[in-house]
Amino acid sequence: MVQKKSQSRQNSFNQTLIGDYYINTLEAFIDNNNNQNIDELSAFVSKVNSNEAVEEFNGSFDDYFNQTLKSNDEKKVEKIIHLIGKIGAKIPQLSESTVDALIHIIDDHMEPTICRAAIQEMGKIGHVRENTCNKIIDEINKVTHTITDHDVTIDAIHALYEIGLAWKKKKKIFFPLLDILSRGDKEEKLEAIRAIRTQLEGYWEKPIQALKDLVLYDNDFEVRRVAAMSLGEVGAYTSFSVREAVFELTNNVANQIQRLKVSIEKNSINNFHIKCRLHDSKAILKILYHYIRIYKYGFIE
C-alpha cells in the first residue's frame, strides 16, 4: 500500500515536471512567428481540446491541469490559461480553437478563479478576432447564468465591453448584460450600462427600455444618473431615434416628481425617504433637460 502511494506521487511529480517543461517551451515559441512554431502551438491547442494521453503531458492535458489545480498553484494555472489566450490573440488561424480550449477549461472547472482567468483571455481574443465573438458571448452568457460571483460578473462585462467596442453589430452582448442589469449590484449595473452603450443604436432596442426603467425605478441615484446620461449621450451623438425615448422619459420623471410631491403632502410624518427620492428625481430631470437643450440648440450651456 505504501509503495503504491509512493509510486502514485512519483507519477504525479513526473507528469507535472514534464508538463511544466512543455508549457515553458511553448511560452518561448509564442514570441517567434515562423511556421514551425505555429505548428507546435497548433498541436498544443489540439491536445487541450482532446482528452487523449500524449507524451508531452505524460498523460492528457486534463490530467496535467487537474494535477496543477491540486497543487494550489494559482499562478501556474493562470499562466497556462494566459498562454492559450495569447496564442488565440496573436495567431489568427488558431483563434477559434483557442476559444474552444478556454471553453473546455471553463466547462470542466466552473469555479470563479478559473472562469475569471479564462473570460479575461476570451475578451482579449474577441477584441481582435471578430470570428470568435459569437462563441465567446454564448459562453459568457452561460457562465453569468451559472455563477453569480461578483468578480466573475465584472470580468464578463469587461470582456463583452471589449467585443462591443471593437466590432459593429454585436447585439448578442445585450442578452447577458440585460440579465445582469436586472439582478446585479451597483457596480455591476454601472459597468453593464457602459458595455451596452458600445452597441446601442436605436429606440427599438430592448436595452432602451431597460435603461429607462433604471432611471425611473432603481434605488441607487448613481445608477439612475448614469443610465439617464447614457441615454442622453446616445441620443446626442449616435442615434436620433433614441431622442424619442429621452423625451418620453423626461415626461415620466416629471410625472414621478408630481406623484412624490402628493405623497409628501399626504404623509407629513415619516416621509424622509420620499423627500430623498424627490430630490434625486429632480436632479435626474435636470440631466434630461440638459440633453434636450443639446438636441434643440446643438451646444452645451
Domain-terminating residue out of 199, 216, 236: 199
> Which long-range contacts (C-beta less than 8 Å, at least 24 apart) are formed by 32-40?
38/91, 38/93, 38/94
In this model, does residue 31 exceed pLDDT 90? no
Res 36: pLDDT: 66
Calculate the average pLDDT of the chain: 90
Res 7: pLDDT: 47
Number of domains in the chain: 2
Res 4: pLDDT: 46
**Domain containing 180 — which CATH number?**
1.25.10
Q: Is residue 38 in some structural domain? A: yes
- Residue-wise pLDDT for 207-230, tens only, equals 999 999 999 999 999 999 999 999
What is the pLDDT averaged over residues 153-182?
Answer: 96
- Residue range(s) defining the domain that contains residue 242: 202-301
Res 3: pLDDT: 47
Identify the residue with better confidence: 192 or 29. 192
Q: Is residue 227 in some structural domain? A: yes
- Residue-wise pLDDT for 174-218, tens only, equals 999 999 999 999 999 999 999 999 998 876 788 999 999 999 999
Three-class secondary structure of residue 5 per DSSP: helix
Domain-terminating residue out of 157, 177, 199: 199
In this model, does residue 28 exceed pLDDT 50? yes
How many CB atoms within 10 Å of residue 273? Answer: 9
pLDDT-derived band at 158 (thresholds 50, 70, 90) equals: very high
What is the pLDDT averaged over residues 22-34?
Answer: 79
Q: Is residue 122 in some structural domain? A: yes
179 and 288 belong to one structural domain: no
- Residue-wise pLDDT for 89-132, tens only, equals 999 999 999 999 999 999 999 999 999 999 999 999 999 999 99
Res 6: pLDDT: 47
22 and 156 belong to one structural domain: yes
31 and 132 belong to one structural domain: yes
Choose the weakest-confidence range: 26-35, 233-242, 254-263. 26-35
Q: Is residue 151 in some structural domain? A: yes
Q: Is residue 1 in some structural domain? A: no
How many angstroms separate the most distant Cα atoms in the chain? 85
| Residue 254 in grid coordinates | 416629471
Res 17: pLDDT: 64
Res 26: pLDDT: 87
Identify the residue with better confidence: 39 or 213. 213
In this model, does residue 81 exceed pLDDT 90? yes
136 and 77 belong to one structural domain: yes
Q: Is residue 256 in some structural domain? A: yes
59 and 139 belong to one structural domain: yes
283 and 185 belong to one structural domain: no
37 and 102 belong to one structural domain: yes
Domain-terminating residue out of 171, 199, 227: 199
Q: What are phi and psi of 242, to 5 degrees?
A: -70, -20
Res 164: pLDDT: 96
C-beta of residue 57 within 8 angstroms of C-beta of residue 47:
yes
Choose the weakest-confidence range: 24-33, 106-115, 207-216, 250-259. 24-33
98 and 16 belong to one structural domain: yes
135 and 169 belong to one structural domain: yes
Res 13: pLDDT: 43
Q: Is residue 143 in some structural domain? A: yes
63 and 177 belong to one structural domain: yes
Q: Is residue 2 in some structural domain? A: no
What percent of the chain stands above pLDDT 70? 91
pLDDT-derived band at 33 (thresholds 50, 70, 90) equals: low
193 and 231 belong to one structural domain: no
How many CB atoms within 10 Å of residue 255? Answer: 11
CA distances from 89 to 53, 97, 130, 198, 224 (A): 27, 11, 11, 21, 36
